[in-house]
Structures are given as structure tokens and as C-alpha cells.
Structure 1
Amino acid sequence: MKPITEYTDFRQLMLDYYEDRKRRSAFSWRDFSKAAGFTSSSYMKVVCDGKSKLSKIGVERTGVAMGLVGFEMEYFRALVEFGQAGTEDKKKAAYERMLSIAKVHKVRVMEGDLFEFYDSWQNPVVRELAPLMPGATPGEMAKMCYPEVSAAEVQQSLNFLTKAGLLKKAGDSFTLAETSIKGTPDATRLALRGMHRMMSKLATPAIDLPAGERNFSGVTMGVSRESYDRIVKVLDECRRQIIAIAAEDKSIEQVYRLNLQLFPLTKSVKESKNEEA
């Protein structure tokens, strides 16, 4: 089995444990459930299938049944909380606890880089800016950013980006590495939501920039679910075409952010009528 800190899905951890035990000896879902103190012989399978949750007592029993001790048990508690959290804030808090536990015990969470990268808008900006300014100091890079950041913040981003393999340092210059940060859908969604919030806030002061340096447009419209799906496909294709244009550019001189936002301003009238019926 993989080290526990390589998991961000507690159900996958439990399933891998079960499969590992089953390969090495006669081991059934009944045995697993019994070891965890559950009367239902299939309870562990029901949990792994996502049809039931683990209570606080269930977390402790399951951890003991899996032989987890010390920081592994502590990590498992946070892992389950991350998987079962009902709100984004609770989910983020649990994930940060997982990272903290791993850091204290000098082990790495595989998706820790994903979270750290999207934890600050400066990281993606500095990653694109640094290669454009060979030989520049962190202070010089900081002066180029909207909004203003400190040299220390830029240096912190550079340190992280090189450590994570997202930038390559050659002397006093940087080049883009082809390494990409990937994670499970659950962790990626959580990380990206924070980034979208930050980037949306940065868009507001950008309205005051000269019209030749920014482009803002919008439309308020009524749509059906079918039209919404078609619009999303058009936006996805537009984004892919824009990325392709940027990838072909051999004389980059500035870092831009493109936000494609389509969001509801009202509740669904159709659903409202169904509720009243």
C-alpha cells in the first residue's frame, strides 16, 4: 500500500487496505467490519461504496482495525473529515490540518503542491513573469505586478515554484518547467475555488486601467438548461482557442488573466413552480 499521506480520499485508503489484506490472506468485508466493531457484516463495504459515512466513533474503530497509530491515525481523522465535510470552509480546514500533520512529521502530501500553488494569486503570476525578466531581482519583479506585492512575497513564490518543479533556475534567470500540478477532482475543485475568488477580486480594480489594456464585457440574459449547456461548450472551445494563441506567442511581454464567468442571477423559475405544485 501507498503511504497514508498519499491519499486524499479516505474511502480509497480503506479499499486499498482491504484489497491488500485480501491478497495476502483470507480476508473478507465481514472480517473488516468485525475488526472495526460493526455489527453489520457489510458495513465497511457500504462506507467504501460511498453509501454511508463514518461517525467519530467509527473513525476511531476503523483506524484501529487498519492498524493506524500516531500521526497516521491523526491524519486519518483529518482525511475522513475532509471527505465528509459539508461546507467548503470545513473541507479546507481539514485539508490544511492534513498538510500540517504531514509537515510536522516530515512527510509529503502528494497534492500539497496543488493547494499551495493555488493558495495565492502570486504563484501563477510569478511563474509566468519570472521567465520574462532574466536576471531580475524579486524586488524588480514585484514592481511589475498588479496589485503591488513585496519583494519578500515574490521570493517566497520563487522558492516554492522551483521546489515544486514548476520553474527551473539557471544562474539568476528562470525558465518554465513543463511540470503540471494535478490532483483528485475533489482536491482540485477546492483549490481552484479559492483561486477563482482571488482572481475575481483582482478584476475589480482592473476596470480602472486604460481601455486599451483590458477588455470587459457582459450580458444579462434568460436561458434554459439546454441553452446553458450549449453556452458552456462554446466557452470551453473559446478558452481552448485562446490558450492555443497564447502558446504560439514567441514575444511575450506581459502576464494577463482571463476570467470566463457564467453564473445565475436568479433561481430557476421552473424549479420554483414544481415546488409550489
Structure 2
Amino acid sequence: MQNNHPEFNKGKEISTASVIAPVLSDYMNYRQFLADFYQFKRKSSKGSLRAYNYAVFSAAANIKSPNYLKMIIEGKRNLSDDMIGKFGKALSFMKDQTEEFRLLVHFTQATDPAERNMYLKKLSEHRVAGKLKSGEIDRKTWEKVPNWVAWIIYAMVDQEGVSFDTSALKALLRGKASEDEIEAALNTLLASGELRRDEVTGEHKKNRSLIESPEEIPVALVRKLQSQLMYLGLESLYQDQPTEREFGTLTLSLTKTEFEEIKFKLRQMRKALHKDNSIARMKQKGERVYQLNIQLFPVTNAVEGVEKTPVIKPALDIKTETAIIETPAPVMAAPSVEAAPVTAAPADKDSRANVSSLAATAASAADLFR
């Protein structure tokens, strides 16, 4: 499942041939939304007796400054809560849309990472609630998919000595979920058939894969689950000793080809770890449940006009299995030596060694999954 969404802080161009109003829920930056809204109004009013301009917006918002919208779009001013309400009126928003706009404004203007995360969570929940209400997301599908508590309880079946009593599970889960949440999650797993309880021994066992049709899961739910598991990682950073966890970060400048290559390696690593762990749990149960989150994401946009490196066709055609905490994309392998441009400068000894190492890594990955 892919999470396809516009590149951050880049809006959609509105042509004069097809003037389409921007949709607030498509945006993660309210200034970009306002800029696109203004261009939409300008183009849709083209040829009318009174063309749309900044002064018209200010009048609709009951704001004295005729260029206030322009200053907001350019980042010269921030919106206060009072102004958010006035902007909502000028944008012809309903109550729910104004609240969504308010959350988007707070998210965009927040500078502290923790505060941004808080508003991002609220914004995401608000948008999901709206999609559930409108029917864009099927409520039955949404309620059927296990939440993060159920996901961990499912893994606890492979943990040694676990008693599936709600109070015992709460203690093992370190109090991160209430007994009601745990009981609901356990009942959902049993009712859906993911888990079964042995009538003779009373032991809980896995009955089937947690998600058999991941392609049917709404993207919004995938994001929700991923964010919840990431928050658990953030808590672990402050709560657990370094000897009990492994945290590391790496910031890199990459070409598109290099990005796809790393993404391919990460997917194969995750697949290999999952396979090895499944085999090990057949022999004996584990001692604790651990969460492994893998993240690789852009923190800058590409500079406009810079020629992008063409993505080299993958040498391996491996279809990775889909997990609920993963959003699959086409698998890309490491580029082969022959794929290097003919016009490239002759490589020195170190460069040749790096290329050989790269090819060897790709070959090793291929051997793992033959």
C-alpha cells in the first residue's frame, strides 16, 4: 500500500482551462492552501465585473488591512485564533472545516517538534473522523482492523509465560493501555479469528496472519497505526536504558537512485528479520516483545531546475510481503556497474572498490531470497 500525497509545501497548479477549488484536507501547510485558494478565486473571477483580489478577501473576513492575506501567505504574519475564525468566514468554511483549518494553522506555525507532533495527531484524527462521517472511509473496515494494542497482544502469543488476563497484560504492557482497551483488543482478535483459545489448555494461539488483505486497509488507518508505534519509540527513548534499546540516526544527501537502493535494502532486511524470527519462535518462545520501526523520509525538497538522476531499472523482481505497518512501493535494486553513464570520469581505486562493494551487496540480497 502506498501513501501517495503531494510533496510537502508544494501546491497544485490550477490551469485556466480547468479551475478546480483547492481541498483543505489535501494540504499540510495552511499558507500554501491560502495561496492556491487565492489563485483559484483570481482565475475563476477572470472576466467578471469585479475581479477577486486581496481587498475582497479582507472585506469578506472583516479585516481592515487590504493586504493582510498577502502578508499571511508570504509568512510575514501569523494567524491568531481570532483571525482564524475570520479567515474561516472569508473562505466560506463550515464549522468542521474551520476547526480543521485551525488545527492546520497551529501545526504549520508551531516551531517545537513536540508541539507540532501534538497538532499533527489532532489534525489527522479530525480528518479521519470527517472521512468516516462522510463515508469516504468504510466504518466497518476501520473498526475491523486491529489497533496498536491488538498488534502487540498478537505478538505476545510468542512470548514466554504470558497470561492473557487483562490485569496481567496491562502490567506487561507497562501501563500504556487500559484494561478496557486490552480486553477490547483481545476480544477483537478472538472474534475475527486471528487468535484462538485452546479449550483444553486455555492457551492462546495464533490462528492466521493478523492482516490477510492489507490492500483493503484505508491509508489513513495505516498512518494512524504507524504514528502510534512511532510514539511508542519516542517514549522508549526517554523511559528505557540504552542497554535495552537501540536508537540511531543518519542524515544523508541522496540521489533518487540511491534513495530507491536504500529503500530496497531496508525492505529486504525487514523481510529477512521477520523470516528468521518466525523460524526461531517455532522452536521456542521469546522473552519480550520489541518494536522495530524503520523510517527513511525527505527533510528537504529538491531544488527546482536540478536535473534528477534517472532511476535504474531493478535487477531483482522481488515482491515483498505487505505488513500493516508498512506502505509498500516498487522494489528497487542496487544499480549494476554497467548502468554507469559512459560520459562519467574514470573512477579511481577507491571508487572502483565502492562500486564492487555495492554490487556485492546487491548479489548477497539476491541470494537471500532465491
1:93 aligns with one of 124, 130, 134: 130
CA contact (8 A) 1:130 1:141 kept: no
1:113-262 equivalences under 5 Å are 114=144, 116-117=145-146, 120-130=147-157, 132=159, 133=161, 135-146=163-174, 148-171=176-199, 172-183=202-213, 185=215, 187-208=217-238, 209-249=240-280, 250-262=284-296
Q: Which moved more, 1:89-98 or 1:243-252?
A: 89-98
Residues 188-211 of structure 1 show CA distances to partners (whole Å, capped at 9, x for unaligned) of 433211111111111112113122
**Cα deviation, residue 248, structure 1:** 1.5
CA contact (8 A) 2:194 2:206 kept: yes
- Distance in 2 (alpha carbons) for counterparts of 1:147 and 1:224: 43
User: Aligned pair in 2 of structure 1 residues 265, 101: CA closer, same or farther (>3 Å)?
Assistant: closer
Partner SS, residue 262 of structure 1: coil
**Cα deviation, residue 156, structure 1:** 1.0
Show the counterpart of 1:7: none
Q: Percent identity?
A: 17
User: Aligned pair in 2 of structure 1 residues 235, 213: CA closer, same or farther (>3 Å)?
Assistant: same
Residues 105-154 of structure 1 show CA distances to partners (whole Å, capped at 9, x for unaligned) of xxxx4x3455x31xx31110111124534544110011011453222221
User: Aligned pair in 2 of structure 1 residues 93, 101: CA closer, same or farther (>3 Å)?
Assistant: same
- Distance in 2 (alpha carbons) for counterparts of 1:210 and 1:94: 40
Q: Tell me the TM-score normalized by structure 1.
A: 0.56
CA contact (8 A) 1:99 1:112 kept: no
CA contact (8 A) 1:129 1:141 kept: no
Partner SS, residue 219 of structure 1: coil
2:251 maps to amino acid: T
* Higher helix residue share: 1
1:263 is the counterpart of 2:294: no
1:55-134 equivalences under 5 Å are 90=127, 93-95=130-132, 98=135, 109=140, 111-112=141-142, 114=144, 116-117=145-146, 120-130=147-157, 132=159, 133=161
Partner SS, residue 175 of structure 1: strand
User: Aligned pair in 2 of structure 1 residues 252, 235: CA closer, same or farther (>3 Å)?
Assistant: same
Instruction: Could you tell me which runs of 5 or more consecutive residues in structure 1 were left unpaired when the two chains were aligned.
Output: 1-86, 103-108
Residues 217-263 of structure 1 show CA distances to partners (whole Å, capped at 9, x for unaligned) of 11111001111011110101111111012112223121111111001
CA contact (8 A) 2:156 2:289 kept: yes
2:237 maps to amino acid: I
2:187 maps to amino acid: N
- Distance in 2 (alpha carbons) for counterparts of 1:100 and 1:223: 36
1:93 maps to amino acid: G
- Distance in 2 (alpha carbons) for counterparts of 1:93 and 1:245: 41
- Distance in 2 (alpha carbons) for counterparts of 1:230 and 1:101: 35
Q: RMSD in angstroms over aligned alpha carbons?
A: 3.0
User: Aligned pair in 2 of structure 1 residues 201, 184: CA closer, same or farther (>3 Å)?
Assistant: closer
CA contact (8 A) 1:122 1:154 kept: yes
Larger Rg: 2
2:292 maps to amino acid: L
- Distance in 1 (alpha carbons) for counterparts of 2:212 and 2:176: 29
CA contact (8 A) 1:131 1:174 kept: no
CA contact (8 A) 2:131 2:137 kept: no
